[in-house]
Amino acid sequence: MTRFAFTVEFDGRPFMGWQRQAHGPSVQQAIEDAIHAVTGERAVIHAAGRTDAGVHGLAMRAHADIAKDIAPFRLMEALNARLRPHPVAILNCREVAQDWHARFSCLGRSYVYRIANRRAPLTWESGLCWRVIQPLDEHAMNEAAQLLVGRHDFTTFRSAHCQAESPVKTLDRLEVCREGDRLAIHAEARSFLHHQVRSMVGCLAMVGMGRWSVGDLEAARNAKERAALGLNAPPDGLYFVAARYPEV
């Protein structure tokens, strides 16, 4: 039995999320079905994180145990052939130690959230970023974002369905950058709560619109209750960027 590690890119628009579900297609199911088609095995693929419906992946890390004797490059090529026409691609495949785990060995995860700050409708980017028509003050957003960096109780920013044991997380980076009419919000932490990034982005957008002050965001953080949340951003603009491991 060989443990293979994968780097996966996917467009989240057709999927109900990463995790296999009974009520719709998932990225996990697409890859597991491709593995079965190539090897005849019903392998389970484990990922560095779970994504919601409509959330995208630039470099999701995952692993699966496969009995078939096959070289990593051949496996990657065969899986990509079987994954078509799904918008899922295996970017890299390699053998790893049996104790390497895509989720539990991960030391850090990073996301980027993309906003199109314009009045014109989106065309080819529809579903790939969040269009906000009100002018956004990225400097105020970035100032407010620093209030969330560090170790905090993020209850306000977690989904009511979040299954994490504790709402306390350490956010290593939350930075707002603008280039033209595009904003990118970069978030890095060892792990995140369900909806945490989208909830933080939604509240930062309210600051950028002038509907909230920096103090309002601080008050929402300190409230430690979901009812204090200002806005949960849609999944469209969220991308899983990278997972960090000891060997990297």
Quickly list H helices, 138-195: 138-145
Q: How far apart are the first and last CA of the chain?
A: 24
Is residue 52 among the annotated active site residues? yes
Strand ranges (DSSP E) for 41-157? Answer: 46-47, 56-66, 88-96, 108-116, 130-131, 150-153
Could you give the 3-state DSSP secondary structure of residue 114?
strand
Contact by Cβ (8 Å): 240, 59: yes
Match 């560090």 to its residue by tokens. Answer: 150
Cα dist. 80→31, 197, 208 in Å?
A: 9, 30, 41
Rounded to whole angstroms, the Cα distance separating 205 from 63 reads 35
218 HSE (CA, 13 A, CB side) = 7
Candidate list 52, 99, 153, 181, residue with the active-site label: 52
188, 189, 10: which is closest to 85 by C-alpha?
Answer: 10
Regarding beta strands 108-116 and 130-131, do their DSSP bridges make them parallel or antiparallel, or are they unpaired?
parallel
What are the backbone dihedrals phi and psi of residue 200, each rounded to the nearest 5 degrees, phi first?
-65, -45
Match 């209030």 to its residue by tokens. Answer: 147
Task: Kindly list the catalytic residues.
Answer: 52
